[in-house]
Structure 1
Amino acid sequence: MNENLESDSAAGSVILRHRLITRLTHWCWAIALFLLLLSGLQIFNAHPTLYVGAQSGFEFDNDVFSIKAMRDAAGNAEGVTTVFGKSFDTTGVLGVSGPDSAQSYRGFPAWATVPSYQDLATGRVVHFFFAWLFAVVFLLWLFASIINGHLRRDILPTGGELRSVPRSILDHLRLRFHHDGRYNVLQKLSYGGVLLVIFPLIILTGLTMSPGMNAAWPWLLDIFGGRQTARTIHFACMLLLVTFFVVHIAMVVAAGPLNELRSIITGRYRISGHRTDMGAGK
């Protein structure tokens, strides 16, 4: 799809940067991932411990992450989060949260889960609904991106672009952004990592935790080393997506939030100058 030059001014030109399919899938993912995160933390609270291996239980010593509510020497409740054997006091946020008069003993606090109260059944219903929506939208995006060239053109970096990574990093550190309507190499690498690595991983590990899928596709258990390892990878992918979201929002603000937000809502994006290579948009 060629970018359509719509107007010229001293401030630059307005181009059509994002296709309709890109804008629709973007906002579907934004809604789905938000509710998947909060409902996923609700499910995690039912057993706030992660393991590596095919099995778990008191007789095994393979946990890598846990959130617990414990009592200190004085008998006061405290939240303890353990990561790879290192324990941290997380009272007030993880393990034990809420006011002293009404403390809640749970992994993640009420404000971080859907529903806010402890309800595993409802959390699973919400999570599974948006998980299937997320997967269907991903397949739709992947199919459309292969057909319209978006994947090849805007997501996969070329050899020349990969060689420019150091320069692009320096430009970002100096907050120097080139508004030409095309993705720079760091955007391509980050979007490619999310769309082609993390998204498929989070979908497949989610399927691996399903007994029904274990019966239909037992090879998933072999690939991910069992349900417990799949659950840990699933959780790690969630943390990576949250990190990506924070960095993504920071870059949007630094690059010009109004221009960036308009482009993902209407598709129109203002470039900072003319260029002869009017490549395709997102």
Structure 2
Amino acid sequence: MSTESLNAPASSSTPMVGSKSRKVVYRHPLPIRIMHWVNVLALTLMFLSGLQIFNAHPRLYWGNRSDEGTAIFALDARHDAAGKLQGVTRIGKHAFTTTGVLGVSSGGDGSPQVRGFPSWLTVPGPQWLAMGRRWHFFFAWVFVLNGLCYVSYAMATRHLQRDLWPTRSDWRGIGRSIVDHLRFKHPHGEEAMRYNILQRLAYLVVVFIFGAGIVLMGLAMSPRMDAVLSPMVEAVGGRQSARTIHFIIAWGFVAFVLIHLFEVLITGVFNQLRGMITGYYVIHVRPADVQPPEPPSGPAPAEDRPHG
């Protein structure tokens, strides 16, 4: 799930407000808003505590083994020619100096400290693996239960079928949707109340691929669950492979959230936040789209009839 993204556009709306073409609609029902903010909290603390856990062994492997020198990704530290600590990020055979952020960053006293991710990016503390695991597992269960509630609600209210599942018309318009997004062209008025094909696909991927995948990979690399889920562990290449996939999906969530926040910024922060907090959202209808009231049926009054 995402932030504003996974919520069904409501069809009900209030009458026109004032003389301008400003329309207030009730867009996000209360259950959706609650699940949205629970998800924001759970995902944030899962990610930050997960980075703290990763710092205990800042390397990724593929397969079942974690032999020294076989990592496909690593955050290391080394001394340069002058004897100063350097942070190094290794991806495959390529190495990049990342001092100050990855591998080596400032400690509490300002001195260089060897750690994968910096302390400001980890919770609940700079070096506390056991408590980091407790935080991570607790909010993982919050995330799972909240996700199950969302999927159940989406199916019961037909939000999934009506608002997220792409139609044939959506597929035919995928080219136009891509061009509009690249040009930062967004729908307005009533059209803004319907998700386009790229939004629908993004939300389905986040819920059913990222969401389900990160939970299953988390279970697959668990010491007590890998035996129960051994067919799945073997299918992904091994326990270390499951850890690597778990890490990649976590950053996939980060990429989705960053794109989502960017879209919120360019489409109206206040309006989007109001919609996700109160449920009410404002759209602007062009004057040409506002239809004048139809004349009453039947013969015109005597004073309005033509004379002569």
1:94 matched to 2:102: yes
Shift of 1:257: 1.2
Query: 1:191-230 CA deviation, whole Å, 9 max, x = no partner?
Result: 1111111111111101111122223332231232221001
For residue 275 of structure 1, report the CA deviation from its aligned partner.
9.5
Cα distance, 1:275–1:269 mapped onto 2, change above 3 Å: farther
Choose 158-167 or 214-223, whichever is displaced more.
214-223
Does residue 219 of structure 2 align to residue 210 of structure 1?
no
1:101 is displaced (CA, Å) by 5.3
Q: Where in structure 2 are the equivalents of 1:1-282 lying within 5 Å?
A: 3-9=11-17, 10-58=20-68, 61=70, 63-98=71-106, 102-179=111-188, 180=190, 181-273=193-285
Equivalent AA in structure 2 for residue 257 of structure 1: V
Cα deviation 1:48-88 (Å, max 9, x = unaligned): 00011121122x73x21100011122221100000122100
Assess if the C-alpha contact under 8 Å between 2:221 and 2:243 holds in 1: yes
SS of 2:72's partner is strand
Give distance in 2, aligned partners of 1:270 and 1:125: 41
Q: 1:275 to 1:164 in 2, by over 3 A?
A: farther
After TM superposition, give the deviation of residue 6 of structure 1 in Å. Answer: 1.2
Aligned residues of 1:178 and 1:272 also touching (Cα < 8 A): no
Q: Secondary structure at the match of 1:3?
A: coil
Residue identity opposite 1:29 in structure 2: N
Say whether the 8 Å CA contact 1:46–1:120 is kept in structure 2: yes
| Deviation (angstroms), 1:42 | 0.2
Task: Quickly say closer, same or farther: Cα 1:275–1:136, change in 2 above 3 A.
Answer: farther
Question: Which residues of structure 2 form unaligned runs of 5+?
Answer: 1-7, 292-308
Deviations 1:146-198 (A, max 9, x none): 11111111222112112212211222233222133111222111111111111
TM-score of the pair, normalised by structure 1 = 0.91
Distance 1:256 1:101 in 2: 39
Change (3 A) 1:88 1:173: same
Q: Give the Cα separation in 1 of the matches to 2:72 and 2:171.
A: 35
Whole-Å separation in 1 of the counterparts to 2:78 and 2:124: 24
Take 2:266 and 2:61, find their aligned partners in 1: how far apart are those partners?
38
TM-score using structure 2 length: 0.84
Supply the distance in 2 between the matched residues of 1:251 and 1:275 (Cα, whole angstroms). 27
Aligned to 1:152, the other structure's residue is in SS state helix
Residue 57 of structure 1 aligns with an amino acid whose one-letter code is D
Write the distance in 1 (CA, Å) between the matches of 2:260 and 2:143: 19
Aligned-pair distance for 1:12? 3.1
**Larger Cα-atom Rg:** 2
The one-letter code of the counterpart of 1:268 is Y
Distance (Å, rounded) in 1 between the aligned partners of 2:218 and 2:204? 20
Query: Following the alignment from structure 2 to structure 1, what is the Cα–Cα distance between the partners of residues 48 and 220?
Result: 20
Identity of aligned residues (%): 44
> Is the contact between residue 7 and residue 13 of structure 1 (CA under 8 Å) also seen in structure 2?
yes
Q: Conserved in 1, the CA contact under 8 Å of 2:226 and 2:239?
A: no
- Greater shift, 39-48 or 255-264, is seen at 255-264
Q: After superposition, what is the alpha-carbon deviation per residue over 1:22-68, rounded to whole angstroms, capped at 9, x for unaligned?
A: 2111111100011011100000000000011121122x73x211000
Aligned residues: 274
- Answer with 217-226 or 196-205: which moved more: 217-226
